[in-house]
Structure 1
Amino acid sequence: MKRPLRRRDAAPSGYLPPHRATAQPAPASGPGAPERGFRQIARSRRQTQRAAAAALWTLVISGPLLGLAAFAEHSTPPRTAAAPAATADTTGAAGVAELYLQAFLAAGQGSEASVRVYYPAFPDQAQASGQRQAEAVAVVSSRTTSAGVVTVVLAAHVVAAQTGDTWADEGWHYYQIAMAAPAGGGYLALDLPAEIQAPASLASAPNSGYSDSDAPTSGTPLSAAVAQFLQAYLTGNGVVSRYTTSGSALTAITPTPYASVQLTGLATDATSSQDEATAVPAAGATRHVLATVTAVDALGHNYTLAYPLTLVSVAGQWEVASLAPAPALASAPAAGLASPGGQAGTPAATGSLTGSAASTAPVASASSFANGATP
């Protein structure tokens, strides 16, 4: 006969399972004690939850702010190292315009594609190609005229084909070309070239800044220093550093362009008596000179060159401190109204050339356009 199962609530009086015997809380004393205990526990839990939530939201909000602050600290350049303002570079557009003009002048029937590389809308031509060409093309000026557009003015020495091997010299012509030059690069002409009037040149040469234009070219310490330096600089005959100040970056030209050099002219910013003196001034004295030389190459050809130099007196001798970027002037050049050429389309000079086309000197030298004048 099976023994009936006993219900847990029917356990003998005073019996407790072993694992619960030590887990019972101490009984609360006094009226309402259990209710107060439960309320305190609930209040403590709510406070803990609110504190945890507040801490969590603080981290969520402050995290991006701290990240931005750290990024700003590492990415913001110092105020003293602000980047310079960007300047527009028109060099690329001017170079492409030069190629475009050369192709345009020589184009004819069957060679239109050579121009369409620069101007896709170039029309078909009726005349034969190669009837005229540019012996030389030079950029006179280039400037940004609107967003993404650079206007270039060029000078071209044009020759035209005649019968046989004879070419007619049509002189120097001037053209204006508008180039699309977007910031991302790439250049295309916006239209056909426009032949224009020659740009204005200087009305007269600027006044020289050299007070003594006829200083001795030999027999003085100054002339000797200049001659010896240029000999070493142009021919490699001698060591350049022997005739320059300490730390100078001047070195001999390589490969050597000339076999010999002779000083043929010397102008300075001193007086005649100072230039003729055989004694060197006290240390630290400065002299600006314009030295003219006749240089002879290995084939015996002569070339005349000019060098603006700055010399300094060091330990009883003249030493070259620098090769100046330009001669000394009494005042800044001023733009004049004289024009080196005729009306647009009118050649400045005409003539005939036999054999291969030959170039002639431009009507106005490159220095005439130093003022950057445009028509």
Structure 2
Amino acid sequence: MKFWKSRGRQSSEAAVENVVEEWEQRGPEAGGWDLSPGARANATVLARWLAWAVICAGPILGLLAWMSAAAAVDAAPPRQPRAQHAEADGTGPSGFAELFVAAFVAAGEGDQDQLAPYYPSAGQLQLDGKPGRQRATQTTAVRVRQTAPGAWSVTVAARLKPTSQPKDAENKDAAEDPSGALRYFQVPVLASTGSGSSGAEGYVAATLPAEVAAPGRQSHQPQLGYGPERAAVPGDSRAETAGEFLDAYLTGSGELDRYLAPGLHMEAVSPAPYRKVEVESLAVAGEESADSSATGVPADGTRQRLLVQIRAIGTDRVGVPLSYALTLTARAGRWEIAALDATPATVHRTPPTAPTGPAT
């Protein structure tokens, strides 16, 4: 190291001496000036200092450049974490819970590995009984509630059937039921990010399923937003339009577009499941009497919502009752189908408010 420093210093001094010597020899001639001995001495000293300044400035400028680059790297904004996809409708969690329940009810001794993809702690479980002693013939999510960001509570209905005839009478009665016993399981589902290179988002069960009672059922028919139901009478233009449309929609007979309002496009059910459609009754939103019927068509743009009850007759000549919620609009003296409503019109009832003062 000392040898390198001495060699470097010697080379720097030699460079300075060469610059000064060249200036002393050619400086006056090159500039056209005739200097006195004193001025020449001063110029020599100045040239020497300038040469040393240039040599010393190189490392300093390099150090400053390196420090500026480091500061620029430190000032770069941190990378923001990738936003995780949010399941707004709960389709993913409900499907995961259905698969987990199907594997859970069929699991038996030694089936811990079958449950591990859904519940990572399954290896610590004690599983009894013969694997596959029962199976779920049907599973469906009947309630999905998001309890927190990335967390859901899913209630799964499962129809279970034993794979072998039980010996006790109670289970034997259940086994003879062709549809199987309907049971309900509640599964807490959490969103998880995969640890692999893809980092794909998935789901994991926080605990084992909990068997619960059936969710609360509607004890009475909900109040719909239609008038009284009445039989379809001949000459009712709304019933005729609805019947002709549903006949083309369900049987494939006739052109469907002729019954649709401009801008609405629909495809008929294919293959056609029925051969004939009969309108039995209808209810119209806004009507208060069951005796009224519409033989004419009102002004263009008039819209009405209907609830139509039909009987669709299949190839086996068996009639199937079906209900359709339709929106009709009037145009050019006839009714047209403006929408096949996803849900019927309902009456929105305001829940009673709690009393603000003491009861008297």
CA deviation after TM superposition for structure 1 residue 316, in Å = 0.6
SS for the counterpart of 1:209 is: coil
Letter in 2 for 1:331: H
1:296 aligns with 2:313: yes
1:138 aligns with 2:140: yes
TM (norm. structure 2) is 0.64
CA deviation after TM superposition for structure 1 residue 183, in Å = 3.8
Whether the aligned pair in 1 keeps the contact of 2:307 and 2:324 (CA below 8 Å) is yes
Larger displacement relative to structure 2 (222-231 or 210-219): 210-219
Larger displacement relative to structure 2 (326-335 or 164-173): 164-173
User: Take 1:25 and 1:112, find their aligned partners in 2: how far apart are those partners?
Assistant: 96
SS for the counterpart of 1:258 is: coil
Q: Which residue of 2 aligns with 1:181?
A: 191
User: Take 1:158 and 1:94, find their aligned partners in 2: how far apart are those partners?
Assistant: 18
CA deviation after TM superposition for structure 1 residue 314, in Å = 0.4
SS for the counterpart of 1:99 is: helix
Matches within 5 A, 1:1-375: 25-27=31-33, 86-87=86-87, 90-109=90-109, 114-118=114-118, 119-126=122-129, 129-130=132-133, 132-145=134-147, 149-160=151-162, 161-162=165-166, 167-169=175-177, 171-184=181-194, 185-214=201-230, 216-271=232-287, 272=289, 276-331=293-348
SS for the counterpart of 1:97 is: helix
Whether the aligned pair in 2 keeps the contact of 1:177 and 1:194 (CA below 8 Å) is yes
Change (3 A) 1:145 1:33: same
- Structure that is richer in helix per residue: 2
CA deviation after TM superposition for structure 1 residue 35, in Å = 9.6
User: Take 1:121 and 1:233, find their aligned partners in 2: how far apart are those partners?
Assistant: 55
SS for the counterpart of 1:205 is: coil
What's the C-alpha RMSD, in Å, of the aligned pairs? 4.7
Structure 1 residue runs of 5 or longer lacking an equivalent are 1-19, 47-56, 69-82, 336-375
Whether the aligned pair in 2 keeps the contact of 1:174 and 1:197 (CA below 8 Å) is yes
Whether the aligned pair in 2 keeps the contact of 1:312 and 1:319 (CA below 8 Å) is yes
After superposition, what is the alpha-carbon deviation per residue over 1:107-134, rounded to whole angstroms, capped at 9, x for unaligned? 345666544553444423135742x443
SS for the counterpart of 2:105 is: helix
Whether the aligned pair in 2 keeps the contact of 1:137 and 1:157 (CA below 8 Å) is yes
Change (3 A) 1:228 1:179: same
Whether the aligned pair in 1 keeps the contact of 2:284 and 2:307 (CA below 8 Å) is yes
User: Take 2:286 and 2:231, find their aligned partners in 1: how far apart are those partners?
Assistant: 9
TM (norm. structure 1) is 0.62
After superposition, what is the alpha-carbon deviation per residue over 1:80-116, rounded to whole angstroms, capped at 9, x for unaligned? xxx9x95556422322221222233233456665445
CA deviation after TM superposition for structure 1 residue 268, in Å = 0.7
User: Take 1:309 and 1:327, find their aligned partners in 2: how far apart are those partners?
Assistant: 8
Aligned pair count reads: 300
CA deviation after TM superposition for structure 1 residue 202, in Å = 3.2
After superposition, what is the alpha-carbon deviation per residue over 1:135-169, rounded to whole angstroms, capped at 9, x for unaligned? 43221223344565432212223345446997244
User: Take 1:171 and 1:334, find their aligned partners in 2: how far apart are those partners?
Assistant: 36
User: Take 1:277 and 1:286, find their aligned partners in 2: how far apart are those partners?
Assistant: 13
SS for the counterpart of 2:192 is: coil
Moved over 6 A (4+): 32-42
User: Take 1:284 and 1:135, find their aligned partners in 2: how far apart are those partners?
Assistant: 50
User: Take 1:255 and 1:334, find their aligned partners in 2: how far apart are those partners?
Assistant: 45
Structure 2 residue runs of 5 or longer lacking an equivalent are 1-25, 54-63, 76-82, 195-200, 353-360
Change (3 A) 1:332 1:135: farther
